[in-house]
A and B are shown apart, each in its own frame.
Chain A
Amino acid sequence: MPDTTVSAPASGVRAASCDRAGSRPTTAWRLLVRNRLAMVGLVFIAIWTIGALVAGLLPYSPTATGAGGLLEPPSAAHLFGTDNFGRDILARVLAGGRISLWTGLIAVGISLLIGVPIGAISGFLGGVVGAVLMRVMDVLLAFPSLVLAMAIAAALGPGLASAMIAVGVVGIPEFARIVYSQTRSLRERDFVEAGRAIGLRDRTILTRHIVPNTVAPILVRATLGMGYAILTAASLSFIGLGAQPPTAEWGVMISDGRGYIISGEWWMTVFPGIAIATSILGFNLVGDGLRDVLDPRLRTSR
């Protein structure tokens, strides 16, 4: 196939996506802004994102010991107090946000990159290939996800990277399932038949007509998946399979501080705990809001 025919549609894609910004997403955005809970969620996400960006501007480094005294309670100098090595907890929590957000993005990215093609291909082809792929996904789903993530992380060897991969792999079947069912129903739609009637190849129909129409549910699932990925990654770090001390990571910080809960140094665990809770809540609220906005069936039922 000559180059011209390949490059021409690509420019068409860009042009169309610009047009589209002028219609549907803006109405979706307007509806989302009106959803109060989703806005609360967005504020939480914004706080941790901004925190991650300004973490470097703080006077204390997240890993510098002796920034203050040991186990100082919250004060004007150290808003969140200091830990057992005298490190500033505020600096560590904000730096931990940076790691958690990256973990979420990379893990969800892995799930998307592998899950979406698996779902699309098995949904479109059906038959033996589809059945085998989806049964493999079912097997993955059958394991409790945290246990599976632990097994994968342990097999890869402890570390932040293996935690990301483990969480990403565990998320694959969710995306594959969503895309699979969407593809199954889109495959029967007339515009797909119309595409075949003008002589499009299957691959073209799949990439240009079917997958773009699954974006809405994928977006919802990816947002919810961010919260889940942050939680699982923190859990892995907590039990020593993820980020390693002295890295400022929320799970690691809680793990470090758990010995001090009884002796009364609550700030070592409470602040990273709040960080985990609010960031997950943020992603879940935004995810639910997106679902309300993007799924017209739920919208009319209100």
Chain B
Amino acid sequence: MADTLLSIENLSIRIDTSRGPIHPVRGLDLTIARGEMVGLVGESGSGKSVTAMSITGLLPARQAHITGGHIRFDGRDLAALSDRQMREIRGKDIATIFQEPMTALNPVFTIRDQLTEPLRQHLRLGRRQAADRAGQLLDMVGIRNTARVLAGYPHELSGGMRQRVMIAMAMACEPKLLIADEPTTALDVTTQLQILDLIMDLQEQHGTAVLLITHDLGVVAQTCQRVAVMYGGELQETAPTDQLFAAPQADYTKRLLSFIPSANEHVIEAVEALAEGSTGRDGSGSVRVEARTDAPTEAPDDDAPVLLEVTDLTKVFTGRRRRLGRPADTITAVDGVSFRVRRGRTLAIVGESGSGKSTTGRALLRLHEPTSGTVTFNGADLLSASDDELRRLRSQMQIVFQDTYASLDPRWTIHRALAEPLRLHTDLDDAAIRARIVEVLETVGLGEEHIDRFPHEFSGGQRQRIGIARALILNPSLVVCDEPVSALDVSVQAQVLDLMKQLQRDLGLTYVFISHDLSVVEMMADEIVVMSQGRVVEQGTVEQIFTAPQHPYTKALLAAIPIADPNARVDRAVRRCIVERGVAAADLPEKAVA
């Protein structure tokens, strides 16, 4: 290929660790043409990030060794370059943006300082020129109030804004290749869509080649021309995006595609319908802003008894008093939330970070003491319950956490962790306790051989199974699941979701399922509550939310789902429009700036 920019041939990498050498990349072949956008997809530990670091020469020199193959960039063999030549290329010809822009930006310097630094170093611009150029760059990445942003510090910006600044820094020297390592993983879905859009715009306008590294097939489907899939350090397949999604060759790709929730046809149809509906309208910004529906709508034929009823739940966090005599700062994390959940059903609470969904979940169990409102569980008023009553009720309502590592005491064996609730709430003897633990472990797909191990000896998926086992051990009727799968790889995610559904069928569980991901929710929920800024903006059955969303913010969440189908008939501009309107309607001030 004449216009090949980067070609990796038969690359193998060895990393020496204290436990012996590991081989994160084995025999990788990958090419990127000038101006092309290529997706590199893999789960954690697949070697995708190590590959990226080897291109920029950022692997730790003492532990990591390239044991075979070549990396050619723009006709030059990168491995043969000196450190100084490599530094020239890095930043100037190859730029990188990372997952977490907060850690990639230096907190003690202003955005202007950090943005002008590469300009002065690589392009030898003067102070004034560099500052002007910095302003232009911010303009280019869609930041409106450039003067204010330039003078500010990283912590003053939202996550999406910080990522925009990072992209501006990366684009400062007009690089030939932009490596984006999970650039949107730490961001909310609506922000993710905007950032991906920006990267695509830059690729088209500046002819920059992009290597987009991600775990999410949905992200590449809508953005990349070609996709490479890695697993266990080896390339599984490379194909043009359409072809990969239409006819995957490698078994691993097929499995991955079957797991990913955003490849779900209901979801794709819903987004397509939404986009179509919006193009039909004149786009003059006349949004039908429907206030939150006060009467919770539910399927009329549902006659299951109500297990949990929440009315006007409010949680106010009080900050420190700034000055004596002045009232302390307060943050209303949850603001008048009402819903009810019927026995054996799943209610999903959906929202982005800071929407109050997790606080709501914890306030339900009184892990955070609600400020006002009522929670009625199985006929009992939870908020007026005494400590002893509450302790008894708690055996009936359990919680599954997102971070499987943080939610298990690292010093306790599984046996001890699971025995604790039994000792507290039952009179079982040691043998009966052990039997019950083994029984529960088996229901979640683990065996007796796991019982004496420590949390760190398990994989993330197994730990989440243990988390579920702990929640189930007392036979609760209600389980609050706080983002139970968002820290897991997609294939594991699918297994855990399947398990949760099966447990619901077998044990008649009622779930309150908290998630940021509408496509996951579509698989799990009967009813959905959409939250933003502590308020419920819309609630209804899954049917209603997906086929006839009312509130613009709900539409924005739907439109922002990274659909894993490159052929979905969704226009980029339309999606962007829906998202921007929704964000504006939900009155998210920090996002509206961008």
B407: interface (CB < 8 Å): yes
Chain B positions within 8 Å of A264 at CB level: none
In the bound assembly, the distance between CA atoms of A161 and B283 in angstroms comes to 85
Contact B407 A194 (CB under 8 A): yes
Interface size (B, Cβ < 8 Å)? 35
Report the interface size class on chain A. Answer: 20 to 34
Report the tally of A-B residue pairs with Cβ distances under 8 A: 77
Q: Which of A158-216 contact B (CB under 8 A)?
A: 189-191, 193-200, 209, 212-213
Contact B474 A198 (CB under 8 A): yes
Look across to chain A and name the residue whose beta carbon is closest to the beta carbon of B410: A213
**A206-246 toward B: CB 8 Å interface, digit per residue (1/0)?**
00010011000000000000000000000000000000000
Chain A positions within 8 Å of B398 at CB level: 197-198
Q: Which of A70-109 contact B (CB under 8 A)?
A: none
Look across to chain B and name the residue whose beta carbon is closest to the beta carbon of A4: B427
Which one, A190, A193, A200, A212, contacts B424 given CB within 8 A?
A200
In the bound assembly, the distance between CA atoms of A193 and B425 in angstroms comes to 17
Contact A16 B413 (CB under 8 A): yes
In the bound assembly, the distance between CA atoms of A24 and B413 in angstroms comes to 12
| Chain A: minimal CB distance from B20 (Å) | 14
Among A5-13, A44-52, A55-63, the stretch that binds chain B is A5-13
Chain A positions within 8 Å of B391 at CB level: 199
Chain A positions within 8 Å of B367 at CB level: 193, 196-197
- Known contacts A193-B367, A200-B420; decide if A20 and B394 are in contact (CB<8 Å): no
In the bound assembly, the distance between CA atoms of A146 and B175 in angstroms comes to 61
Chain A positions within 8 Å of B406 at CB level: 189-191
- Known contacts A8-B423, A193-B362; decide if A199 and B392 are in contact (CB<8 Å): yes
| Chain A: minimal CB distance from B446 (Å) | 17
Look across to chain A and name the residue whose beta carbon is closest to the beta carbon of B397: A197
Look across to chain A and name the residue whose beta carbon is closest to the beta carbon of B473: A198
Contact A197 B399 (CB under 8 A): yes
Look across to chain A and name the residue whose beta carbon is closest to the beta carbon of B404: A190
Chain B positions within 8 Å of A199 at CB level: 390-392, 394-395, 421, 424-425
Contact B401 A193 (CB under 8 A): yes
Which one, B419, B454, B470, contacts A194 given CB within 8 A?
B470
Which one, A189, A198, A209, contacts B421 given CB within 8 A?
A198
**B411-431 toward A: CB 8 Å interface, digit per residue (1/0)?**
111001001110111010010
Contact A197 B394 (CB under 8 A): yes
B403: interface (CB < 8 Å): yes
Chain B positions within 8 Å of A19 at CB level: 413, 452, 454
**Interface SS of chain A: helix, strand, loop or mixed?**
helix
**A1-42 toward B: CB 8 Å interface, digit per residue (1/0)?**
000110011001001100110011000000000000000000
B448: interface (CB < 8 Å): no
Contact A193 B399 (CB under 8 A): yes
B365: interface (CB < 8 Å): yes
Chain A positions within 8 Å of B397 at CB level: 197
| Chain B: minimal CB distance from A275 (Å) | 36
Chain A positions within 8 Å of B412 at CB level: 16
Chain A positions within 8 Å of B230 at CB level: none
Contact B409 A198 (CB under 8 A): no
B408: interface (CB < 8 Å): yes
| Chain B: minimal CB distance from A163 (Å) | 36
Look across to chain A and name the residue whose beta carbon is closest to the beta carbon of B403: A190
| Chain B: minimal CB distance from A185 (Å) | 11
Chain B positions within 8 Å of A5 at CB level: 423-424
Look across to chain B and name the residue whose beta carbon is closest to the beta carbon of A8: B423
Contact A12 B424 (CB under 8 A): no
Chain B positions within 8 Å of A4 at CB level: 427
In the bound assembly, the distance between CA atoms of A123 and B548 in angstroms comes to 50
In the bound assembly, the distance between CA atoms of A112 and B184 in angstroms comes to 47
- Known contacts A12-B416, A19-B452, A199-B394; decide if A194 and B411 are in contact (CB<8 Å): no
Chain B positions within 8 Å of A190 at CB level: 401, 403, 406-407
In the bound assembly, the distance between CA atoms of A135 and B412 in angstroms comes to 33
In the bound assembly, the distance between CA atoms of A209 and B457 in angstroms comes to 19
Contact B416 A16 (CB under 8 A): yes
Can you report 18 residue pairs joining A to B where beta carbons are below 8 Å apart? A5-B424, A15-B416, A16-B413, A189-B406, A189-B407, A190-B407, A191-B407, A193-B407, A194-B399, A194-B407, A195-B420, A197-B365, A197-B397, A198-B424, A198-B425, A198-B474, A199-B392, A213-B410
Binding site for B on A (CB under 8 A): 4-5, 8-9, 12, 15-16, 19-20, 23-24, 189-191, 193-200, 209, 212-213
